[in-house]
Structure 1
Amino acid sequence: MSVLLEVEGLEASYGAAKVLFGMDFAVSAGKVVTLMGRNGMGKTTTIRALLGMIASDAGRIVFDGTEMTGRPSFRVAQAGLGLVPEGRQIFSSLSVEENLIATSANRHGATPGWSLERVYEFFPRLRERRLNMGNQLSGGEQQMLAIGRALMTNPKLLILDEATEGLAPLVRAEIWACLERLKGEGQSILVVDKNVDALEKLADAHVVVEKGQVVWSGTSAELAADPTVRERYLSV
């Protein structure tokens, strides 16, 4: 099993405020891995550092065998990391279809590559709303669009920050079903979310973050067998 993403000793700060204190974890090709923890523990900062959105102070980021530490965001994206950001951040003044094609690319010759038709097959509601502007969509439709937009870059690793935050239960279930299907197709995924039960069912491995450090990691079976992890690090 090949390692797709390897993070070693990652440290990062916002000005004088240090947030990450030596993050260590890995994502194997074709696997789903979670970053879990309470709010403010460094999950989103970790993602921003991975994507070059903030500079890292120390440590290494190796993606698909290539050193990515210190590279700008557009180079990281070109290497094959696709982000579904917290808050969705779709282009509100573009139509659904324009959002999907705005950053579409298949730089690494993925087969089958993602196309409008394939995204619409995954999310039939986007086909129905393809001519609507981004600001005319519901929150769930916007999340589907954000996922579809990331998939249209044909990412080697799909990263979702707060995958189902603020969505209605039925829409959350649809998003989890989509991610399960992507996993079945061999898509590598790194996901942040607070729904531990859903993540246990979906993911192969979990990384629990507390105050900018990894405090626990293991499989879904190991997480289910150790209720103290939830009580100590995940309960509100």
Structure 2
Amino acid sequence: MLKVEGLEAAYGESRVLFGIDLTVAAGEVVTLLGRNGMGKTTTINSIFGLMRPRAGRVSVGSTDLTGKAPYLIAQAGLGLVPEGRQIFPTLTVEENLVATARGGKAARWSLARVYALFPRLQERRRNMGNQLSGGEQQMLAIGRALMTNPRLVVLDEATEGLAPLIREEIWACLTRLKEDGEAILVIDKNVDALARFADRHVVIEKGRVVWQGTTPDLLATPDIKDRFLHV
């Protein structure tokens, strides 16, 4: 499904990514791990056309999306839950959900299904985005991405800044999405929580992939967390 090959990116003359390789298959959950400032968000921004890669290739299936406009990448089936949520503060919950919705006969996600996944959003459907708690805004950001009926959902900092109970609710949501066959690429700092439901893990350090493997591989290599993930 998603294939990233030799991805390079830079801010001006300062190179940030040095040949990132990454794949996510249909129905697979993959994590992108690394300390702050190692290139995780830059990788996501380059995939979604928010930053033009200097080199490399991004494709979904047989479609080359390298450097394409973000709306074309969304149409190709990538749904983004961005860092900081970035919901529309002056739209209601329901307006946020339908603003970028993509339907059709084969659509799997609808308002009813999103509300079933997040009953709290239905309860607050007439509230403005800026009237929601941080946890509710994250639920809304996930619901909004699902309403585009993506082939792959990408979450940048899935539970950052959320209370422990809300984090558990988000993890439970992602587990249900996996059980439903959704493909997911997720960034988060909680490696233990990610290991409970993710299939594979990709670790980057200073813009390079330094390790990748399955969850059993990660659990069998405890020094990975000490070498590349702890602050």
**If the TM-score is normalised by the length of the shorter chain, which range does it land in?**
over 0.9
Aligned AA for 1:129? R
Q: Is the 8 A contact 1:23 1:214 kept in 2?
A: yes
Q: Alpha-carbon deviation of 1:70?
A: 1.8
RMSD (Å), alpha carbons: 0.9
CA-to-aligned-CA distance 1:164-214 (integer Å, 9 cap, x gap): 000000000000000000000000000000000011111000000100010
**Percent of aligned positions with the same letter in both sequences?**
66
Moved over 3 A (4+): none
Asked if 1:221 is matched to 2:221, the reply is no
SS at 2:162's partner residue? coil
Match of 2:12 among 8, 11, 15: 15
Aligned AA for 1:37? G
Match of 2:125 among 117, 124, 130: 130
CA-to-aligned-CA distance 1:45-91 (integer Å, 9 cap, x gap): 00000001100011111112211112111100110000000000000
Aligned AA for 1:140? G
Asked if 1:150 is matched to 2:145, the reply is yes
**TM-score, normalization: structure 1?**
0.96
Give the 3 Å change call, closer, same or farther, for CA 41–110 of structure 1 in structure 2: farther
Matches within 5 A, 1:1-236: 4-106=1-103, 109-111=105-107, 113-236=108-231
Aligned AA for 2:106? A
Task: Quote the Cα distance in structure 1 between the aligned partners of 2:46 and 2:191.
Answer: 24
Q: Is the 8 A contact 1:110 1:154 kept in 2?
A: no
Structure 1 unaligned blocks of 5 or more: none
**TM-score, normalization: structure 2?**
0.98
SS at 2:159's partner residue? coil
Aligned AA for 1:14? Y
Aligned AA for 2:117? F
Q: Alpha-carbon deviation of 1:110?
A: 3.5
Task: Quote the Cα distance in structure 2 between the aligned partners of 1:110 and 1:230.
Answer: 41
Q: Is the 8 A contact 1:5 1:28 kept in 2?
A: yes
Task: Quote the Cα distance in structure 2 between the aligned partners of 1:79 and 1:231.
Answer: 37
SS at 2:35's partner residue? coil
Aligned AA for 2:20? M
Q: Alpha-carbon deviation of 1:106?
A: 2.8
Aligned AA for 2:127? N
Structure 2 unaligned blocks of 5 or more: none
Aligned AA for 2:69? P
